[in-house]
Chains A and B, each alone.
Chain A
Amino acid sequence: MNAAPRDFRDEELLADVIARLIGDVRHVAVGNASPIPATAALLARERNGNGRPYVSLLQSRKHNFFTDGARELFDCAGQGRIDVFFLSGGQIDGEGNVNLVSVGDYEQPTVRFPGSFGSAYLYYVVPRVILFRTEHSRRTLVPKVDFVSAAGSSEGNVYRPGGPVALVTNRCLFSFADGHFTLASVHPGHTVEEVIENTGFDFERPATVPETPAPTAETLRLMREVVAPQLAEVYPQFAAQVFGVGEAAFAR
């Protein structure tokens, strides 16, 4: 294990990884309960320095361009006007199926998650969907999800311009293509063996797996000084815990 001292937090590394995955696009939308993707999207915009991509944080008042109600995002996505979206899951399986509903039998579940949100639609129509699940374990990354909130791929005749391109966890980055995941890089301090041990589904991997690059000093500065204060409006607890922004409000 790598015992070198680190000057960044896990959340900062993951946001940096996701910001690179976002790429050169026009409009990124971030849904509910997604503080790390929100950090990444704002970081991607700040790095470009030209106000692009547009970043819509759906629960934000300030970072929100929609003026025609909550449906406008989905109507935009249906037309191809949203380039990148993020989904998580209580369970994610090796075919890229996402479960946001429950564990066990649907009628009598042992665990109930909040629900599918917009996943059953956005996963199909947004070209680049980035999956993220910080907890990388056999509990979350499973051979087969108990409930398919949104399917990783579709039959050939189903209208499907969108789908998953990657999965980011606290241990590694997987890419997704042709219906399966490939290990793309392992984060500093983690190992390929550990990823195999903690992943419930099969995945491809190259002979040599690179280490995920650590965030640069400039990236950390942008996140901490420019992005964090903007996050506090939507994710006050996250901004306080990760970046120490607005801590006074949560001092107890």
Chain B
Amino acid sequence: MAKSLDEALSCIGDGCELIVPREVSGVPMAATRALIRRGVKKLHLVALPTSSLQADLLIGAGCVATLETSAVSLGEFGPAPRFGDAIRSGAITMKDATCPALHAGLQAAEKGVPFMPLRGLIGSDVLKYRDDWKVIDSPFADDDPIVLLPAIRPDVALMHAPMADRFGNVWIGRQRELAMMAHAAEKTVVTVEKMHDGDLLDNPVLAAGTLPGFYVEAIAIAERGAWPLPLPDYYGADAEHLALYAKMAATAEGFAEYMDKYVYERRAA
């Protein structure tokens, strides 16, 4: 059964390798604000495969030691200011990736194999600066170099979804990358809009979009838990708020003011 938000997040400790989804797949923003209020530190944040407000907030709040992703930006609202600042000042370690490399690393973890090959990358500086990525000659061809990516096996996957049932099953709909994250991570914590009466796996239509409970460590209810980001098929982004964030977070002072008003204030949860 559902726990309180803080209880559900208790398995995310300092130094946790935490994987979170891209900005349009159900980003657990209420949970992110709760983690910041709790003062979590030294996260190794993996954003699959990109991030926006969530990574920027966690970085600005000083929660992140290492960031592994393919891009951080506020999209139409401009650059992610706290991310840019942290990179320029060297406040975080950046592991620049490319989207399919993160997917491939997770696919390796899903299969329980140590690595996954991927095309592309050769001749790029993305590859050059990743000493954990290797190039081999394909053993199935002559003179065919190919990149190998180590499995990404996060400690915890954290996501927001429309609903869960009392058996711990979570309905993710068409956001299949949430399932991939859960398969690859050791534990999965989910916030949901609401609890579903009955068993999600009883209905074949719902079952196809359901993450089975055996992957799930904890569930908490967080209504509008992706705000101000969208929950696909349920609600859109709060464009006005994102524009406000972009403006305020452009300076350290403005970011502190934003945090006081929208993160530390309890009602914002």
Contacts and interface: CB of A to CB of B under 8 A. Distances in A.
Interface in B62-110: 69-73, 75-76, 79-80, 83-84, 87-88, 90, 96-101, 103-104, 107
Given A106-B125, A157-B144, A119 B98 contact: yes
B87 A32 contact: no
A115 B71 contact: yes
A149 B129 contact: no
A61 interface: yes
Contact of A74 (B73, B99, B145, B178): B99
User: How big is the A interface, by class?
Assistant: 35 or more
A237 interface: yes
A150 B49 CA distance: 17
B107 to A, nearest CB: 7
A26 B212 CA distance: 36
Contacts of A235: 76
Nearest to A153: B123
Contacts of A249: 239
A70 B177 CA distance: 6
B177 A124 contact: no
A114 interface: yes
Task: Give the interface SS of chain A, mostly helix, strand, loop or mixed.
Answer: loop
A112 B99 contact: no
Interface residues of B, number: 55
Interface in A209-252: 235-238, 249-250
B197 interface: no
Interface of B: 22, 24-25, 48-50, 69-73, 75-76, 79-80, 83-84, 87-88, 90, 96-101, 103-104, 107, 118-129, 143-146, 174-180, 232-233, 239
27 contacts: A32-B50, A61-B232, A70-B49, A70-B176, A72-B176, A74-B99, A74-B100, A78-B119, A110-B88, A113-B79, A116-B70, A117-B71, A117-B98, A117-B99, A118-B98, A119-B98, A120-B121, A120-B124, A121-B118, A121-B120, A124-B119, A124-B120, A148-B123, A149-B124, A151-B122, A155-B123, A250-B239
Interface of A: 32-33, 59, 61, 67-72, 74-75, 77-78, 100-102, 106-110, 112-125, 147-151, 154-155, 157-159, 235-238, 249-250
Given A116-B126, A124-B121, 7 more contacts: A32-B75, A100-B71, A115-B50, A115-B69, A117-B50, A120-B98, A149-B98
